Chain A
Amino acid sequence: MKKVYAIGAGMTKFGRHPVKTGRELIIEAALETVDSVDRGIDLQKDVEASWIGYFTPELYEHQGQYGPITSDCLGLVPKPAWRTEIACASSSAAILTGFFAVRSGVFDLVLVGGIEKMTTLSTEGVTDALSIAADNIFELPAGITFPGIFALIAQAYFKKYNVTWEDLQAIPIKSHHNGTLNPKAQYQSEVLELGNKFGKKKGISFKDPMDFLKSPLNPTVAYPLRLFDCCPITDGASFLLFASEDVAKKYTDTPIEMAGVGNGTETLSLHDRPEMTSSRATIYASKMAYKMAGVRPKDIDCTEVHDCFSINEVIQIEDLGLVPRGEGIKAAKEGRTSLDGDIPINMDGGLKSKGHPVGATGAGMFCEIWKQLRGEAGKRQIPDAEIGMISNVGGSAASAGVFILRR
Chain B
Amino acid sequence: MKVVKTFLDDIERGKLIGNKCNNCGQIMLPPRKFCLKCGKSNLEEIELTGKGKIDVFTVIHVPPPFMKDKAPYVVAIVEMDEGPKIMGRLIDINPEEPEKIKSGMKVEFRSLEENDKKVVAFKAID
Contact = CB atoms under 8 A, between A and B. Distances in A.
B64 to A, nearest CB: 5
A144 B60 CA distance: 7
A128 B65 contact: yes
Main secondary structure of the interface of B (DSSP, over half): strand
A151 B87 CA distance: 13
B75 interface: yes
A140 B75 CA distance: 10
Contacts of B13: none
B114 A145 contact: no
A219 B114 CA distance: 28
Given A156-B55, A267-B36, A271-B77, A142 B88 contact: yes
Interface of A: 123-125, 127-128, 131, 137-145, 147-148, 151-152, 155-156, 159, 219-225, 267, 269-272, 276
Contacts of B4: 137
Interface in B8-23: 8
B1 to A, nearest CB: 15
Nearest to A219: B61
Contacts of A269: 87
B77 A148 contact: no
Contact of A141 (B63, B103, B119): B119
A131 B84 CA distance: 24
17 contacts: A123-B62, A127-B65, A138-B30, A141-B120, A142-B87, A142-B119, A142-B120, A143-B64, A143-B67, A143-B70, A155-B56, A155-B58, A156-B56, A159-B56, A220-B59, A224-B98, A276-B56
A155 B36 contact: no
Given A143-B73, A152-B58, A222-B61, 8 more contacts: A124-B65, A138-B30, A142-B75, A142-B89, A143-B119, A144-B58, A148-B75, A221-B61
A362 B82 CA distance: 40
A225 B62 CA distance: 11
Q: Find the residue from B62, B70, B88, B103 having the highest chain A CB count within 10 A.
A: B62
B87 A222 contact: no
Contact of B103 (A137, A147, A159, A272): A159
